[in-house]
Amino acid sequence: EILPFTDRVQQAISHIQSPVPLPNIRFTCLCDVRNQFFGNHGAIPVFGPQKGLKPGELTAFETSSEKNVSLLFRKAKKEFVDKSGFGAAGGIALGLSAFFNTDIEFGSPYFFERIGLEDLIKESDWVITGEGRYDAQSEEGKACFELLKLCRKHGKKSVLISSGEEGKKAGFDQFIKLEDLNFSSHSLKNDAEKALLKSLSLQLDLQ
C-alpha cells in the first residue's frame, strides 16, 4: 500500500522536542468552525476530503494523527482534551495549546461584537450574505450561518448567495444560486462578476 506523503511523514515521527527555553507567549486563535479535531465530525473526516484525502485513507491518517498528538502532549506533560475549534485550520490551536496558553474565540461572534453587527441587523429590513459554497460545514460556526441565527432572533429577512444546492434548505428567506465557473478560464474574475450580476438580476426579490 502506498500511503499519501503527509501520512508517511506522520508515521515516521517518533519524537517531538519542545523549544528550550520555552517562550512566554499567549495566543488567541480565531476559528471559523467549531469542530473538534477527532471524531466523526472532526478535522480529518470533514475537511480531509477537501484537501485531497480519499475515503480509504481517512482511517490511517486519523491513526497517525492520534499517535502524534499523543507524542505532543506527552512531551508537554499535559493530558490531551479535545476541544471545540481544535479541528479548524488543520489543528493549529491544538498544537499551540500543548506548549502555550491558548484561547479559542469563534471568529464570527468575535467580529460581529466588535463591529456592532447585531445592532445593525435590528435596524435592517433585509440582510444579504454569501459563501463560496454553502454546505454542512457552514453550520459549524461560519459567518453566514451565524448571521442567519441573528436574523431569526430579530425577525429579519435574509438572503444567501452561494453556489451548490445545499443553501436551498438552510433556512434563509431567499437563496440565490451562483452558476459554477471554469477555474481554468483566463477571464475568471470577469466571469465571476458577470455570473453574480446575472444571478442577482434574475433571482433577487426584496419584497
pLDDT in tens, 33-49: 889 999 999 999 988 88
pLDDT-based confidence at 10, cuts 50/70/90?
Answer: low
The residue among 161 and 140 whose pLDDT is bigger is: 161
pLDDT value of position 8: 58
Is CATH 3.40.50.10350 what the domain over 116-203 is classified as, yes or no?
Answer: yes
How much is the average pLDDT of 65-70?
92
The stretch 149-154 carries a mean pLDDT of 95
Q: What is d(CA 61, CA 121) in angstroms, rounded to the nearest whole number?
A: 43
Burial of residue 111 (CB within 10 Å: 0-12, 13-18, 19+) is: middle
Instruction: Tell whether the model's pLDDT for residue 150 goes beyond 90.
Output: yes
User: What pLDDT is recorded for position 132?
Assistant: 85
- Exposed, middle or buried by CB within 10 Å (0-12, 13-18, 19+), for 87? buried
- Cβ-based neighbours of 154, under 8 Å, separated by 6 or more: 118, 121, 122
CA distance 146 to 69: 30
For the chain, the structural domain boundaries read 5-107, 116-203
CATH superfamily placement of domain 5-107: Glycerate kinase, domain 2 (3.90.1510.10)
Return the bridge partners of 29, or none: 104
Q: Average pLDDT, whole number, for the chain?
A: 87
Q: Which amino acid appears at position 137 of this protein? A: Q
What is the per-residue pLDDT across 86-128, written as a single tens digit (0 to 9) for each?
Answer: 999 889 999 999 999 999 998 888 999 999 999 999 999 999 9
Asked whether the predicted pLDDT for residue 197 surpasses 60, the reply is yes
Give the DSSP per-residue string, 24-67: --EEEEEES----SSSTTSHHHHHTGGGT--GGGHHHHHHHHHH
- Can you give the pLDDT at residue 1? 47
Q: What whole-number percentage of the chain has pLDDT above 70?
A: 95
Local confidence band at 2 (pLDDT 50, 70, 90 cut-offs): very low
> Could you give the angle at the alpha carbon of 56 between the alpha carbons of 53 and 57, nearest 5°?
45
